[in-house]
Amino acid sequence: MIIPLDELQALLAQFPQRRIGLVGDLFLDRYLEIDAARDEISIETGLVAYQVTAVRNSPGALGTVMNNLAALGVGQLVPIAVLGDDGHGDDLLRSMQELPVDGQYLVRSAERLTPTYTKPMRHAAGEPAVELNRLDVRSREPLTPAIQRQVETHLRRAFLECDGWIVLDQIPETECGVVNRATRAVLQELAATHPEKLVVIDSRRHLGVFEFGCAKGNRAEFLGAVGEPEDASDERAMEAARQLAERTGRTSFCTMGPAGILVTHPGGPQRIVPGIPVEGPVDIVGAGDSATSGIVAARLSGADDWTAAYVGNLVASITVQQIGTTGVARPEQVLEQRRKMEG
C-alpha cells in the first residue's frame, strides 16, 4: 500500500490545526552522560565513582508521544497527568517548554513522585555508549482521592475541547497510575456519550481491561490482553486483535514489527498494512509511540484507518533509524521517505 504523495501532503498540512488530548503517565527521561576516562575511586567506599559530564532531560512515556506529535506539526497538545511537586517535576516542565503544550490540566502534588527514568550512559573512547542499569523513580500506590477527583474533573472539562484523545497506561503496577479503574470509568462514559471522538488506548500491561476506544499496541501486548503467551503465533495475535476490536466496537491497531500494522475492524476486514523497509541498523525504542502519533494525527485529519496505519508506518520507519535516542519524524522527513518509494 502506497498513498499518493499529494494525499500525504494534504494530510500533513492539516496537522497544525489539530488539538489532541492525552491522559496518562508523564515521565521525565533523564540521561546522565558518563565519561569513562574520568572514573575516580571513592575514598569513602573504595568503589568506582562515575563522573557525569552532562545531563539531558526530555519528556518520556506520555511525553514521548507528545514529542512525536509536536515534531509532526500538531498544533496543540493537552496533557492530563500527575507530577510530583519536586525537582524532577520542575525539570520535566522545563523540558516541555518548546512543545505546543496547554498545561492547565497538569496536576502537581507533594504526595506523589514525578515518574522518572534515569538512564546512565557510559562513554569510553572508541566504543559505542553503553547504557547502565536504569534508575526508576515513581509512586507505587494509588492516587489519593483528592488527586483522583482533580484528574476526573479535568477529563470532563477537557474532553470536548480536543479533536481526539490518546490514553497511555505506562505504570505496570495495577491501579497505581493515572489510568486506573476510576479514570477508565470516566473515559468510558465520555467515549460512549461522544462516540464521534477518536480515543486511542495504549497500555503496557492492561490493554485487555479496556472496553472502549481503539486498542493500539504491539503483538505481545495484544496477546497478553487475551491471556496468550507473548511468543504465540501471528495467527493468535490476529485473533487477539479481532477479539479486542469486537469487545470495544472500534478498530484495533496492532504493530507487527517490520511486517507493519495489523488493522482490524470490528465485524469487518482485517489486514496488515505493510511496514516501510529500512536499511542499516535500527533502534526500535519509541517506535510504537511514533506510530501512535502518526495514526492519530492522520485519523483526526480525515484519513481512513488503512491510510492512518500507513502514515504510522512511515513515521516509525524514520524514528527507528535514529540510533541511541528516542527519535521523532518531521513532516519534511515523512515526505522524503515517501518520495524514496517512487522507484
Distance CA 23, CA 79 (A): 6
Joined together, the cell numbers standing for residue 105 give: 490540566
Distance CA 213, CA 245 (A): 9
pLDDT for residue 321? 84
Q: pLDDT tens for residues 38-57?
A: 999 999 999 999 999 999 99
Q: pLDDT tens for residues 194-246?
A: 999 999 999 999 999 999 999 999 999 999 999 999 999 999 999 999 999 99
Where do runs of H (alpha helix) occur along the chain?
5-14, 62-71, 87-95, 145-158, 181-193, 219-225, 234-248, 287-300, 305-319, 331-339
CATH architecture of residue range(s) 5-29+58-118+134-342: 3-Layer(aba) Sandwich (3.40)
User: Structure pTM?
Assistant: 0.94
pLDDT for residue 278? 84
Please give the share of the chain, as a percent, with pLDDT higher than 70. 99
Q: Which of the four pLDDT bands, split at 50, 70 and 90, describes residue 2?
A: confident
Joined together, the cell numbers standing for residue 4 give: 499518493
**DSSP notation for 266-326:** TTS-EEEEEPPP--S----TTHHHHHHHHHHHHHHTT--HHHHHHHHHHHHHHHTTSTTS-
Structural domain boundaries of the chain?
5-29+58-118+134-342
Q: Which of the four pLDDT bands, split at 50, 70 and 90, describes residue 322?
A: confident
